[in-house]
A and B are shown apart, each in its own frame.
Chain A
Amino acid sequence: MLKTAILIATVLVCISMFLNLWRVFIGPSRPDRILALDTMYINSIALIILFGIASSTTLYFEAALLIAMLGFVSTAAMCKYILRGDLIE
């Protein structure tokens, strides 16, 4: 039962990563693309956690934590860059 659940969950998360990729491609504006990339970071954490559950180790915990931190910092940095690069300010 656990194996089936992990399989279903992995498939769902992979489909949602493709949806995010689609939004990165068609995103009409830059904030849209940043939002899609940020969601992709979170989905990759979900994939790593699922892989950790499937192989029943906690080795991937640090990787997931690092990706979460990098995702937040990069999103904040890109937002700040786009904000300051604007002529309005």
Chain B
Amino acid sequence: MEFWIELLISVLIVAGAVFVFVGSLGLVKLPDFYTRLHGPTKATTLGMGCLLVASMTLVTNQNGFLSLHELLITLFLLITAPVTAHMLAKTALHHKLDIAEKTHDKALSKQARKRLNP
């Protein structure tokens, strides 16, 4: 394998793992549920994207033909991540979970729960 390709794959793998790690760190560290929601849904999509692109490059380079099927997983995660986040936020609103003290416009969450206009 050429040096440059190996370097590219290694960098992509490490970057992807770092993003996955940061997402999970946010899950543990952030103060309330709504802020925790931001960590996994964002950091994991790019993390997984990097890992899958690395896998794609490696397999293409080894087998000599274009291997694109990892794109399916990336696409699937990109489509489902916002849906999951939206449903979790909806659930949290209905359960009246604690909202961090310094959140602006806390009153809006009551309107959102009843699906009224602000």
Contacts and interface: CB of A to CB of B under 8 A. Distances in A.
Verify whether A and B have any Cβ pair under 8 Å.
Answer: yes
Interface of A: 1-2, 4-6, 8-10, 12-13, 15-17, 19-20, 22-23, 28-32, 34-36, 38-39, 42-43, 45-46, 49-50, 52-53, 56, 58, 61, 64-65, 68-69, 72, 75-76, 79-80, 82-83, 86, 88-89
Interface of B: 1, 6-7, 9-11, 13-14, 16-18, 20-21, 23-25, 27-28, 33, 36-37, 40, 44, 47-48, 51-52, 54-55, 58-59, 62, 67, 69-70, 72-73, 76-77, 80, 83-84, 87-88, 90-92, 94-95, 97-98
Contact of A58 (B18, B67, B77): B67
Contact of B20 (A43, A56, A80): A43
If over half of A's interface residues share one DSSP class (helix, strand or loop), that class is named, otherwise mixed; here it is helix
A16 B25 contact: yes
Nearest to B17: A9
A16 B23 contact: yes
B6 A1 contact: yes
